[in-house]
Chains A and B, each alone.
Chain A
Amino acid sequence: MKCWTRRQFGCLAGATCTGALLARTARSQVRARVVVIGGGVGGATAAKYLALSSKTLDVTLVEPKGRYTTCFFSNLYLAGLRSFESLTHGYETLAQRYGVNIVHDTVTAIDPVAKNVSLESGARLSYDRIVLAPGIAFKAGAIDGYDDAAMQIMPHAWTAGPQTRLLRQQLETMADGGVFVLVAPPDPFRCPPGPYERAALIAYYFKQYKPRSKILIVDAKDSFFAQDVFEDGWNRHYPGMIEWLPAQFTGGVKAVDVKGRLVKTAGDTFKADVANVIPAQEAGRLAHEAHLVDQSGWCPIDPLTFESKLQPGIHVIGDAAKAGNMAKSAFASNSQAKVCAFAILAALTGSDRFAPHLFNTCYTLLASDDAVTSAISYSADAETIKVNDFFLSKVGDNAETRREAVREADGWYAAFTHDIFG
């Protein structure tokens, strides 16, 4: 075996092994406490792997909602290819099978000196480590007129749940021949292929039920992830239905007018029948309140442990983390959660540390029988996280490969959600 830890090397060098073993046992008699905040993909995965990997840790997951709706695959619900219920998952198994304490409450404050977390109910939780997985927030004022009230008329549907249902209802009630306007956000944002998959899958729905309708994407960017693959898919499946406007043509979205369902750019105004506004993003609320965010709007972390560079003892994972070149995705959050959980285990229980592995894979549907895949492996060092290896489906893949990817995608969703919640 080549990766001896320092402690085990000490055994061979002559220190008594029994001493080392006793120290480890004594340490494990005090149950170290980890509080995981946020029950999305990152938080739930971290809680599960912390709890299942050590019987000596006290793991608490704090999440206000009783059930979680996955943002990934929610475009399939918009297309009518999946039920809303199939996207919804509970925390029962984490509690029953792995012994995670589930607390349905909202964190109001983190005190990093006293090392405790205050909850809305008035309760306080002491911690040795925190794993914070707050997800995203929308940048206030990024689009003039787009506030909390406007979201109820022009949904973002970029955190799944009631927003996703609202968008689906609006699409269902829209008349044939209507215009659906999708406002796509600037980088970096959650799920880089997401807005473009959404356009494809809403076109899939329109093609069947409202074939005279149009989709207009007003983008804050001049290019997007896998652009050639998406444009090829749009043209093959929905010719003439989807139009994409880059920022260089419009100057980007400046304002919305909720009453008139208007989307205003520097030079034009677009009238929508249904508007889906996905604004610019930053780390979730609690990350800001706990002083974990830098000027970029995201949380700088140690790439090997995901411990905050600004607040020791607090680890930040998922979309909120500033994780080098890693995409902001559910898969990446799950991968980060495991690396983070194993680093915390090593710190609190003295377990061995091994080289971390970070991945992102993605299944994106263009139609019910056409999915593209991507896979990225990353290498992490003390400074940053870089792309190590990259695969993406290509224009011109044979149809059977794309059909097979749809079947795989379905199996992947089942396995992945089982890995998080099961």
Chain B
Amino acid sequence: MPGQSTSIVPAASEHRQSAFSMHKIVALVTAMSLAICVAERSFAADNDQGAQLAATCAACHRLDGHDRGIPSIIGLSEEQFVVVMRAFKSGERSGPIMRTVVRSLSDEEIAILARYFASRGKEGERR
């Protein structure tokens, strides 16, 4: 969840106060803040965007593994997911509804979805 690492930076810097001069502490805090920011974007925001895009999929595909009538998309590896989406987009794989959906997604969005579904595996509903 966003904000969960709030306390890490001040706590770590307090313990080291005696060994560091003030400007070094400032530099360290800034560097760690930047690192956390970047890390936060790649996990939390990527996951949030994945969840929002996956909500689109959920209008037709059950995300809990049921696959009656419409195939499950849970349990595909990242690579498999991207290959299947590209095949729909190019028309190599038939499926006019999927083709319409995939054509509206950017390559980056497909990659985010692939990571999102691969990381969920068959865990059931944890959205």
Footprint of B on A, CB under 8 Å?
1-5, 8, 11-12, 14, 16-18, 21-22, 24-25, 28, 49, 52-53, 55, 97, 331, 334-335, 338, 342, 350-352, 354, 357, 359, 361, 373, 375-377, 379, 388-391, 407-412, 414-416, 418-419
B34 touches A375 (CB 8 A): no
Number of residues from B at the complex interface, CB < 8 A = 47
A2 touches B108 (CB 8 A): yes
**Nearest Cβ in chain B — how far from A362, in angstroms?**
9
B104 touches A377 (CB 8 A): yes
Closest to A363 in B: B97
Chain B residues with CB under 8 Å of A334's CB are 59
Chain B residues with CB under 8 Å of A409's CB are 69
Between A and B, 22 residue pairs with Cβ closer than 8 Å are A1-B42, A1-B46, A8-B37, A17-B37, A18-B10, A18-B33, A25-B6, A49-B55, A53-B51, A55-B1, A331-B59, A335-B59, A351-B48, A375-B96, A377-B104, A379-B104, A391-B100, A414-B66, A414-B69, A418-B62, A419-B58, A419-B59
Q: Mark B22-46, 1 if CB is under 8 A from A, else 0.
A: 0000000110011011001110011
Chain A residues with CB under 8 Å of B36's CB are 17, 21
**Nearest Cβ in chain B — how far from A419, in angstroms?**
5
The A-B contact count (CB < 8 A) is 134
Complex Cα gap A5–B9 (Å): 22
Q: Find A407's partner among B2, B33, B69 (CB 8 Å cutoff).
A: B69
| Interface residue? B5 (CB, 8 A) | yes
B41 touches A1 (CB 8 A): yes
A361 touches B97 (CB 8 A): yes
Closest to A55 in B: B1
Footprint of A on B, CB under 8 Å?
1-3, 5-6, 9-10, 29-30, 33-34, 36-37, 40-42, 45-46, 48-49, 51-53, 55-56, 58-62, 64, 66-70, 96-97, 99-101, 103-105, 108, 125, 127
Complex Cα gap A389–B52 (Å): 21
A359 touches B59 (CB 8 A): yes
**Nearest Cβ in chain A — how far from B59, in angstroms?**
5
B59 touches A17 (CB 8 A): no
Chain A residues with CB under 8 Å of B3's CB are 21-22, 24-25, 28
Given contacts A335-B59, A391-B97, A415-B61, contact A410 B45 (CB under 8 A): no
**Nearest Cβ in chain B — how far from A109, in angstroms?**
32
Given contacts A1-B46, A4-B41, A354-B49, contact A16 B97 (CB under 8 A): no
Chain A residues with CB under 8 Å of B66's CB are 414-415, 418
Chain A residues with CB under 8 Å of B60's CB are 361, 412, 415-416
Chain A residues with CB under 8 Å of B51's CB are 53
**Nearest Cβ in chain A — how far from B22, in angstroms?**
15
